[in-house]
């Protein structure tokens, strides 16, 4: 099991907390922040909610210090959600500065060898979850974090509001969409277990028959989804009941990729188990997610090199370096004063055959670089010479 103490000397882990409004996300952030302080491993905290008035924890980086949410609404004539989205877009332009700060704080300081580097990065997001997860700025922030640190998504769920099968399934579908949108390891955090125990949810995720039994019980009681079972066949005994059964089977593969913990942000119960799950997901990130990110990065670099060679090939073809005769269009309009000069230049150019043109390029290439033919540096020098020659035509 991985604990905050066990992570010392390893790469820091970024925990991004997302959740619907009222799920207790901010209180959960305060609880895990307090827990890490008691373990003498204080985290680096980032607040990305521009509309919050007060937070029960100190933030090392706060979006409110850079962007004035109310002024954004006034300046751009926006509503609350549009103001939050625009604030995130403005803040995302500073992502390079944020990463520089994080890298500086998470690296050992030679001047202070006794100081412990940061081992956990906690990120609080807006309660309007779709504004962060499905926005371009949210994708930029998450991708930038994931490219630098192992990043884990903590999806906070309001357990007392998830006791009905329809609400539970809605939450699972929402979590599924976030997982495949962010492509990052996820932990389902069933919050407020001091009010409602989360064992029923864990059972529904691992036992299809248990979920089906709960669904049938709601159908018989006429309380399925807040609708009466006899409402035109659209109650639990009709289409909706069949749909929920099908989705429960479909999400079986999705459940297998999740870690599930029940916590109470009020009492602190389950927080230790949460950080054990964070350690497991960080290892999963390094084994499964990071290689994929590296593969995509290498693919982008290979595409750049291929495009560069393709452009060089086009340039070579246009200049007829391959030995094919070049075709030049006669000028449409020529000033009388310079006509004789141009005729002289045309006569000189006609005397140079294709072989002579190629020889001149080869000689220029040998004079420009002292490296062997075919190297990458030669290609760059050759391209620069051709461009300069082309400007002189």
Min mean pLDDT across 5-19, 42-56, 155-169, 277-291 is at 5-19
* Residue 6 binned pLDDT confidence (cut-offs 50, 70, 90): very low
- Percentage of residues of the chain with pLDDT beyond 70: 75
Give the pLDDT confidence score for residue 178 in this predicted structure: 93
Give the Cα separation of 316 and 322 in Å (integer).
7
> First vs last Cα of the chain: how many Å apart?
71
53-67, 307-321, 343-357, 376-390: which has the highest mean pLDDT? Answer: 53-67
Give the pLDDT confidence score for residue 338 in this predicted structure: 43
The mean pLDDT value for 219-243 works out to 59
The mean pLDDT value for 291-296 works out to 77
- Percentage of residues of the chain with pLDDT beyond 90: 46
188 closest CA partner among 167, 205, 166, 211:
205
Give the tokens for residue 116: 């412990």
pLDDT value at 384 more than 70 = no
* Residue 248 binned pLDDT confidence (cut-offs 50, 70, 90): confident
Query: What average pLDDT does the chain have?
Result: 80
The mean pLDDT value for 282-297 works out to 83
The mean pLDDT value for 62-75 works out to 94
The mean pLDDT value for 252-257 works out to 84
- Indicate the fold that domain 13-222+246-295 takes in CATH: Rossmann fold (3.40.50)
Q: Helix 376-392 to helix 290-318 angle, to the nearest 10 degrees? A: 40
pLDDT value at 328 more than 70 = no
pLDDT value at 229 more than 50 = no
Tell me the H-state helices in the chain: 25-38, 69-76, 80-92, 95-106, 129-133, 136-148, 165-182, 199-206, 208-221, 239-250, 252-255, 271-284, 290-318, 339-351, 354-368, 376-392
Q: pLDDT, tens digit, for every residue of 77-133?
A: 999 999 999 999 999 999 999 999 998 888 887 777 777 889 999 999 998 888 889
The mean pLDDT value for 177-202 works out to 94
pLDDT value at 257 more than 70 = yes
Give the pLDDT confidence score for residue 49 in this predicted structure: 93
Give the pLDDT confidence score for residue 366 in this predicted structure: 57
60 Cβ partners below 8 Å, 6+ apart? 44, 45, 46, 101, 105
Give the pLDDT confidence score for residue 393 in this predicted structure: 46
Give the pLDDT confidence score for residue 231 in this predicted structure: 40
Q: Give burial (CB, 10 Å; 0-12/13-18/19+) of 28.
A: buried
pLDDT value at 325 more than 60 = no
Model's pTM, two decimal places? Answer: 0.71
* Residue 290 binned pLDDT confidence (cut-offs 50, 70, 90): confident
* Residue 186 binned pLDDT confidence (cut-offs 50, 70, 90): very high
Neighbours of 79 (CB within 10 A): 9
133 in helix, strand or coil?
helix
pLDDT value at 387 more than 70 = no
Min mean pLDDT across 165-169, 176-180, 285-289, 306-310 is at 306-310
The mean pLDDT value for 220-248 works out to 63
Give the pLDDT confidence score for residue 383 in this predicted structure: 54
Give the Cα separation of 383 and 389 in Å (integer).
10
Residue the block writes with tokens 């959740």: 19
* Residue 364 binned pLDDT confidence (cut-offs 50, 70, 90): low
Give the pLDDT confidence score for residue 360 in this predicted structure: 58
Contact of 278 with 149, CB cutoff 8 Å = no
The string of DSSP codes covering 270-290 is THHHHHHHHHHHHHHIIIIIH
3-state secondary structure 338-393: HHHHHHHHHHHHHHCCHHHHHHHHHHHHHHHCCCCCCCHHHHHHHHHHHHHHHHHC
């Amino acid at each position: 099991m991985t604990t905050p103490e066990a992570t010392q000397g390893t790469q820091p882990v970024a925990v991004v907390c997302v959740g619907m409004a009222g799920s207790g996300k901010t209180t959960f952030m305060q609880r895990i922040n307090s827990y890490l302080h008691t373990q003498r491993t204080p985290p680096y905290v980032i607040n990305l909610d521009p509309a919050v008035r007060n937070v029960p924890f100190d933030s090392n980086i706060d979006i409110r210090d850079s962007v004035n949410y109310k002024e954004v609404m006034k300046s751009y004539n926006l509503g609350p959600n549009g103001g939050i989205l625009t604030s995130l877009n403005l803040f995302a332009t500073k992502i390079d500065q944020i990463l520089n700060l994080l890298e500086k704080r998470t690296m050992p300081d030679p001047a202070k060898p006794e100081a412990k580097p940061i081992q956990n990065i906690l990120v609080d997001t807006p309660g309007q979850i779709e504004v962060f997860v499905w926005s371009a700025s949210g994708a930029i922030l998450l991708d930038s974090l994931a490219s630098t640190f192992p990043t884990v998504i903590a999806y906070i769920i309001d357990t007392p509001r998830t006791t009905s099968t329809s609400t539970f399934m809605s939450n699972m579908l929402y979590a599924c969409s976030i997982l495949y949108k962010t492509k990052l390891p996820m932990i389902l955090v069933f919050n407020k277990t001091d009010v409602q125990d989360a064992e029923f949810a864990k059972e529904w995720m691992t036992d299809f028959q248990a979920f089906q039994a709960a669904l049938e019980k709601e159908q018989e009681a006429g309380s399925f989804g807040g609708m009466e079972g006899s409402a035109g066949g659209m109650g639990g005994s009709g289409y909706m009941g069949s749909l929920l059964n099908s989705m429960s089977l479909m999400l079986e593969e999705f459940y297998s990729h999740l870690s599930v913990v029940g916590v109470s942000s009020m009492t602190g119960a389950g927080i230790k188990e949460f950080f054990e799950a964070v350690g497991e997901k960080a290892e999963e990130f390094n084994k499964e997610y990071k290689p994929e990110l590296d593969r995509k990065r290498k693919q982008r670099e290979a595409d750049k090199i291929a495009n560069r060679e393709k452009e060089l090939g086009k340039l070579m073809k246009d200049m007829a370096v391959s030995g094919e005769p070049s075709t030049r269009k006669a000028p449409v309009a020529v000033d009388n004063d310079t006509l004789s000069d141009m005729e002289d230049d045309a006569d000189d150019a006609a005397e140079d055959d294709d072989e002579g043109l190629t020889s001149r390029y080869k000689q220029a290439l040998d004079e420009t670089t002292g490296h062997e033919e075919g190297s990458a540096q030669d290609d760059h020098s050759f391209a620069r010479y051709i461009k300069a020659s082309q400007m002189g035509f």
